Amino acid sequence: MEIIARTDRRRKFSDAEKAAILVEADADGVSVRQVAERHEIAESLIYNWRSARRQAAAIASEALEFIPYGAIITTGPVTAPAVSEPQKAQRPVSSSMPSAPEELIRPHPGTRPGAIDIDLPSGVHLSVDSYVNEKALARVLRAFRDVS
């Protein structure tokens, strides 16, 4: 009986190393198993890298969609407001409200990087910042366009 105990740490592969291994695995007449054994990695890791490469290519090939809505009227020169140093957020010790998931919390509460204010012809004022979900904003603008 042989007991194999792994004491090695996880290896980190650079993007260049991953690309080289994927090129090797994509070559004709070579199996993923052979490449995995040669580099002493799991076959599933190569398949995961392939999947991630396909997903990245699909996202990169999606065209950005601009949604024309109305005219932009400027009354004078636009100056950017001075942004103060972000303050550390003080979290309440106890609250009856459940806390928001980490990905929904702004990294710098109070500041609005990339703030955009939109005044629609219907009188609605829409204000978003760089944390807005583009697809959700597109749905909101389409809904307002359909209503007016």
Q: What is the pLDDT of residues 17-52, one digit of tens each?
A: 999 999 999 999 999 999 999 999 999 999 999 999
The identity of residue 89, as a single letter, is A
* Average pLDDT over the chain, rounded to an integer: 75
Residue 78 pLDDT exceeds 70: no
Residue 85 pLDDT exceeds 70: no
The pLDDT value given to residue 70: 60
Rounded to an integer, what distance in angstroms lies between the CA atom of residue 5 and that of residue 10?
Answer: 14
- In this prediction, residue 63 has a pLDDT band, given cuts at 50, 70 and 90, of confident
pLDDT-above-70 percentage for the chain = 61
H or E element, residue 54: helix 43-61
Structure-block tokens of residue 48 = 């995961």
Determine contact, residues 22/14, Cβ cutoff 8 Å.
Answer: no
* Residue 116 phi, psi (nearest 5): -130, 125
Number of H helices, E strands in the chain: 4, 2
Determine contact, residues 124/144, Cβ cutoff 8 Å.
Answer: yes
Rounded to an integer, what distance in angstroms lies between the CA atom of residue 5 and that of residue 112?
Answer: 51
Residue 81 pLDDT exceeds 80: no
Determine contact, residues 128/118, Cβ cutoff 8 Å.
Answer: yes
Among candidates 50, 45, 48, which has minimal Cα distance to 26? 50
